[in-house]
């Protein structure tokens, strides 16, 4: 285990010291302790290296060696017109955070049914909410994960959602995190706490986007607690600019017969790591993890799943589709842990990847740790290129090569789209995916499979 010396900690220590002096809730003993323990943990563990099994395929040195600072105190003013394209039709609420800070003038929470609270975390901290001290930080572990530890040390703002027992929220709740240029490089640590009581239902869309460029790190942690028989759909959309580092952790805690779907879309960002960690803590729980990552240029998109079956009769499904072009690098690490007493576990994991260029790369790794003896656990991965026969078939019907490629890319991505529940969120995401796939259809480089015949044709 590599530790970070006090010297290396340099900026972070200074940042933390400054932060503690002015952070919301600095005088709340439990919160102070939470932050201090977390920072100490971060200092001991340090940023991961490639020797760390969970980070084998992702080099975070660019993050480790950058001297990030917290954003300036003054809130960046954004004209509302800038945000109109990031709007889900008919959403129940939209909370906007600019550089990690809640912007009430850009937000609305006007179409929520009774029994639903959607506010900023900061507001909850300053309001001395009871829920907070008993829930915040109780799920996402700072033990092994430096990024979770760092986020916990610096947590101050983000979304707080609480849906009371039996309440159904039909329309999606949109949490929009916008990064706007600061004196580079800057970091934000959005912290979201999403609580769904027994038998409640809701859809949350967490979106990370940017206006302009700059070197920045968004390191978010979302704790999602689903009570018994609750039905929750969570969407994570990453579409920041190419200089952005984005690390996100979704820690899910499921009660009896709770049903949680996590849909994640890694479309933007330069170096991206998305952790999804559901714990099926109650019997009969169901979890669907549905993901799509689309990489081009030099993007690095790392998807880390850690599904824990901690109770009997639970089922989990992981379906990840990746499309990689140019020099992009994708990673899928699917870990399934079945605890000793989690009998009758039904777990399935599939990762399908499409490589569009000779230099695109995918690392796909299943990891099954099974300690119970009556379980069903399968995994599979495929890596391929666009099917030449399919391309020819489409062209033989009159479609141009570009149109045919696009159709096949959409078809591949549609597997992911079809796993979302029909509704406003699905429409929003589908349009987004279409837009991101459009530039990929133009690429005329082929993934190499000794197609000598094709080369001759082009020369001849």
Partner 1 sequence: MSFLEIKNLHVSVDGHEILKGIDLTINPGEVHSIMGPNGSGKSTLAQVLARRDAYHVTEGSVTLMGKDLLEMKPEEAACEGIFLAFQYPVEIPGISNAYFLRSALNAQRKFRGEEEMDAMDFLPFFREKLKLLEMDEKLMNRSLNEGFSGGEKKRNEVLQMSILQPRMAVLDETDSGLDIDALRIVANGVNGLRSPERSFLVVTHYQRLLNYIKPDFVHVLVDGRILRSGGPELALELEDKGYGWIEQEAAAV
Stretch that binds partner 1, among 72-80, 87-95, 180-188, 394-402 (CB under 8 A): 394-402
Q: How many CB atoms lie within 10 A of CB 277?
A: 21
Residue 395, interface with partner 1 (CB under 8 A)?
A: yes
The nearer residue to partner 1, 355 or 416, going by C-beta atoms, is 416
Residue 396, interface with partner 1 (CB under 8 A)?
A: yes
The nearer residue to partner 1, 44 or 451, going by C-beta atoms, is 451
**Shortest reach from residue 105's CB to partner 1, in Å:** 42
**Residue 351 to residues 58, 303, 322, 323, Cα–Cα distance (Å):** 18, 11, 8, 11
Quick one: tokens of 238? 């990453």
**DSSP codes, 317-386:** EEEEEEEE-TT-EEEEEEEEEE-TT-TTEEEEEEEEEEE-STT-EEEEEEEEEE-SSSEEEEEEEEEE--
Residue 392, interface with partner 1 (CB under 8 A)?
A: yes
Burial of 258 (0-12, 13-18, 19+ CB in 10 A): buried
Helix residue spans in 46-81 (DSSP H):
61-64
According to CB under 8 A, which one of 126, 400, 421, 438 is a site residue for partner 1?
Answer: 400
Residue 399, interface with partner 1 (CB under 8 A)?
A: yes
According to CB under 8 A, which one of 133, 327, 343, 414 is a site residue for partner 1?
Answer: 414
Residue 29, interface with partner 1 (CB under 8 A)?
A: no
Residue 393, interface with partner 1 (CB under 8 A)?
A: yes
Residue 394, interface with partner 1 (CB under 8 A)?
A: yes
The nearer residue to partner 1, 79 or 460, going by C-beta atoms, is 460
CB 191 within 8 A of CB 159: no
Beta strands in 191-285 (DSSP E): 191-196, 201-211, 216-226, 231-239, 244-254, 259-266, 271-280
Residue 397, interface with partner 1 (CB under 8 A)?
A: yes
Q: 440 to 459, contacts with partner 1 by CB under 8 A?
A: 453-454, 456-457
**Shortest reach from residue 202's CB to partner 1, in Å:** 29
Q: 349 to 388, contacts with partner 1 by CB under 8 A?
A: 387
**Shortest reach from residue 411's CB to partner 1, in Å:** 3
Report helix angle 6-22 to 146-153, nearest 10. Answer: 30
Report helix angle 401-417 to 424-437, nearest 10. Answer: 150
x/- map, 171-210, partner 1, by CB under 8 A: ----------------------------------------
Residue 421, interface with partner 1 (CB under 8 A)?
A: no
3-state secondary structure of 300: strand
The nearer residue to partner 1, 258 or 404, going by C-beta atoms, is 404
Instruction: Tell me which residues touch partner 1 (CB under 8 A).
Output: 387, 389-390, 392-401, 403-404, 407-408, 410-415, 453-454, 456-457
């Amino acid at each position: 285990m590599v530790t970070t010396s006090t010297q290396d900690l340099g900026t972070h220590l200074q940042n933390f010291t400054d932060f503690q002096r002015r952070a919301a809730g600095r005088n709340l003993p439990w919160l102070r302790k939470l932050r201090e323990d977390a920072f100490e943990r971060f200092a001991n563990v340090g940023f991961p290296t490639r020797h760390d099994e969970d980070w084998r395929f992702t080099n975070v040195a660019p993050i480790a060696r950058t001297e990030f600072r917290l954003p300036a105190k003054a809130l960046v003013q954004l004209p509302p017109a800038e945000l109109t394209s990031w709007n889900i039709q008919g959403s129940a609420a939209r909370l906007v955070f600019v550089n990690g800070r809640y912007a009430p003038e850009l937000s609305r929470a006007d179409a929520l049914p009774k029994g639903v609270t959607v506010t900023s975390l900061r507001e909850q901290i300053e309001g001395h909410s009871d829920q907070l001290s008993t829930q915040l930080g109780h799920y996402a572990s700072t033990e092994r994960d430096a990024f979770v530890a760092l986020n916990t040390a610096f947590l101050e703002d983000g979304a707080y959602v609480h849906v009371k027992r039996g309440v159904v929220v039909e329309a999606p709740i949109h949490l929009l995190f916008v990064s706007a240029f600061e004196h580079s490089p800057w970091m934000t640590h959005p912290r979201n706490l999403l609580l769904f009581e027994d038998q409640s239902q809701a859809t949350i869309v967490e979106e990370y986007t940017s206006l302009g460029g700059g070197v920045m790190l968004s390191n978010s942690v979302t704790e999602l607690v689903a009570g018994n028989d609750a039905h929750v759909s969570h969407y994570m959309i990453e579409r920041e600019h190419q200089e952005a580092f984005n690390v996100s952790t979704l820690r899910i805690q499921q009660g009896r017969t709770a049903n949680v779907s996590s849909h994640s879309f890694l479309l933007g960002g330069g170096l991206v790591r998305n952790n999804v960690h559901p714990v099926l803590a109650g019997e009969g729980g169901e979890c669907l993890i549905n993901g799509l990552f689309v990489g081009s240029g030099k993007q690095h998109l790392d998807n880390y799943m850690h599904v824990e079956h901690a109770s009997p009769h639970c089922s989990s499904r992981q379906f990840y589709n990746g499309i990689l072009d140019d020099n992009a690098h994708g990673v899928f690490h699917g870990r399934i842990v079945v605890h000793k007493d989690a009998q009758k576990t039904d777990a399935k994991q599939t990762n399908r990847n499409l490589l569009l260029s000779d230099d695109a790369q995918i690392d796909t790794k299943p990891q099954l740790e099974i300690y119970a003896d009556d379980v069903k656990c399968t995994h599979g991965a495929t890596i391929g290129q666009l099917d030449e026969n399919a391309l020819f078939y489409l062209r033989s019907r009159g479609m141009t090569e570009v149109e045919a490629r696009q159709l096949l890319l959409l078809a591949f991505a549609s597997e992911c789209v079809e796993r979302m529940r029909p509704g406003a969120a699905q429409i929003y995401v589908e349009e987004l995916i279409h837009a991101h796939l459009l530039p990929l259809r133009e690429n005329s480089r082929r993934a190499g499979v000794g197609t000598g015949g094709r080369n001759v044709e082009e020369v001849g």
